[in-house]
Amino acid sequence: MRTILNPRFSSRIMANLEMSFWSGPLLVLWLYLPGYLANTAAMLGGKWIPDLTGFQPRPIDGGRRLSDGNRVLGDGKTWNGLAGAIIGAGLLCMLTHLIGENVVVPNGIFLDPLIGAGSEDWFWIGGEWGAAFVLGAFLGLGCMIGDSTGSFIKRRLGKKREGSESSQAPLIDTLPFAICTFAMGLLLFPNALVGNADLIQPMFWLLILTPVIHRLTNIFGYWVGLKEVPY
């Protein structure tokens, strides 16, 4: 087992976690990177995979409309994208786990999200690498639940995206996915560093920056051809 997962080292980090005004949000962004980039993985699953395999994207809402005449979620939320987000986030968490190997600096940024977790935790399936994948997969799922919730709210408010026209609802586009991702980590992984309650305050500061991060991510997705519009 990696040194960082040794109970003696894990308890030392958890007990002496120090975060400054700038390192706290950066640490949260690092730990929740699988959730924050799940949207990008969803773009991959929803666009590139169908293009390569020939299987057309299947919308989660099945094309159904509610009494207001609008789709439940729209064509942008597909089962292909959901699968891509969950798998991509799981793989990315395995990468952050690898990079965080033996990093024991209390105020560090690139720490292992599994610090404090062990074989007694429910998500410890297939050893540390399986646990990292499961953790990341649930963060990706949290992102997708929040993203779909935001889409549902926008459509009920009549702010759905139309072609190249933005929905003009940047906060609804960003905050639900971040809040649900954080909630997933705090509720399901309380023994791991990613679910440490001391991260709640820096999570709040990161929420303020999330609309900017989300916009930059979408611009990148548009630039590489994953999105049809840069928002």
pTM of the model: 0.81
With respect to residue 79, please indicate whether it lies within any of the assigned structural domains: yes
Two structure tokens written together for 109: 């940024």
With respect to residue 8, please indicate whether it lies within any of the assigned structural domains: no
Cα gap 172→176, rounded to integer Å: 6
With respect to residue 210, please indicate whether it lies within any of the assigned structural domains: yes
Question: pLDDT tens, position by position, for the chain (231 residues)?
Answer: 555 565 555 555 555 666 666 778 899 999 999 998 998 888 877 777 777 777 777 888 888 888 877 888 887 888 888 988 999 999 999 999 999 876 666 566 888 999 888 889 999 999 999 999 999 999 999 999 999 998 888 888 876 654 444 455 667 777 888 999 999 999 999 999 899 888 898 999 888 887 777 677 666 666 666 556 555
- 69 contacts 218 by C-beta, under 8 angstroms: no
With respect to residue 193, please indicate whether it lies within any of the assigned structural domains: yes
Identify the domain containing residue 193 by its residue range: 30-223
With respect to residue 229, please indicate whether it lies within any of the assigned structural domains: no
With respect to residue 1, please indicate whether it lies within any of the assigned structural domains: no
With respect to residue 15, please indicate whether it lies within any of the assigned structural domains: no
Which among 230, 89, 226, 81 is positioned nearest to 170, based on CA atoms? 230
| Overall domain count for the chain | 1
With respect to residue 49, please indicate whether it lies within any of the assigned structural domains: yes
Give, as one character, the DSSP assignment of residue 72: S
